[in-house]
Amino acid sequence: MRPAILQTPAAIDRELGRRLTAAHRRARRRGRPVLASATVSLPADSDPTALAVAARVAGEPWFCLEQPDRDRSAIAALGVLVELTADGAGRFSSLARRWREIVAEAEAEPVDGPPGSGLIALGGFAHADDGGSSPRWDGFPAASLHVPELSIARQGEDTRVTVNVLVAPDDTLEDLQARVGQRLQSLRPAPLPMLDPAPTGQYRVTSPMPPSHYEEAVRRGVERIRAGELEKLVLAREVQVEAPRDHDAAAVIGVLRDAYSSCYVFAVGRGDSTFIAASPELLIRRQGQRASTVALAGSTRRSADPAVDDHLGEQLRLNEKEREENAIVARRIATALKPHSVWVTVAAEPEVVKVANIQHLARPIRAQLAKPFDAVELAGLLHPTPAVGGEPDAVSARMIPALEGLDRGWYAGTIGWTDATGDGEFCVALRCALLRGSLAHLYAGCGIVRDSDPAAELAETEVKLGALLPLLAG
Angle at 342 (CA atoms; ends 336, 345), nearest 5 degrees: 65
The helix (H) or strand (E) run that includes residue 293 is strand 290-301
- Is residue 281 part of the annotated active site? The answer reads yes
Residue 62 amino acid letter: W
Q: CA-to-CA distance for 187 and 86, rounded, in angstroms?
A: 32
Sign of CA dihedral 259, 215, 235, 354: positive
Residue 418 amino acid letter: T
- Is residue 324 part of the annotated active site? The answer reads no
The end-to-end CA distance of the chain, in Å, is: 31
Burial profile 19-39: b = 16 or more Cβ within 10 angstroms, e = fewer: bbeebbebbeeeeebbbbbbb
Contacts of 92 (CB under 8 A, 6+ apart): 125, 143, 376, 377, 379, 380, 381, 383
Q: CA-to-CA distance for 421 and 12, rounded, in angstroms?
A: 23
Contacts of 321 (CB under 8 A, 6+ apart): 449, 451, 452
Q: CA-to-CA distance for 243 and 55, rounded, in angstroms?
A: 26
Q: Which of 238, 281, 391, 460 is catalytic?
A: 281
Q: What is the DSSP string of 148-210?
A: -SEEEEEETTEEEEEEEEEE-TT--HHHHHHHHHHHHHT----PPPPPPSS--S--EEE-SS-
HSE (CB half, 13 Å, CA atoms) of 326? 29
Q: CA-to-CA distance for 132 and 128, rounded, in angstroms?
A: 8
Q: CA-to-CA distance for 273 and 279, rounded, in angstroms?
A: 19
Burial profile 83-102: b = 16 or more Cβ within 10 angstroms, e = fewer: ebbbbeeebbebbbebbbeb
Q: CA-to-CA distance for 272 and 265, rounded, in angstroms?
A: 20
Q: What is the CA radius of gyration of the chain?
A: 22
HSE (CB half, 13 Å, CA atoms) of 230? 26
Q: Which of 232, 238, 322, 460 is catalytic?
A: 232
Query: Which residues are 282's β-sheet partners?
Result: 427
DSSP code at position 110? -
Contacts of 394 (CB under 8 A, 6+ apart): none
The residues assigned a catalytic role are 232, 281
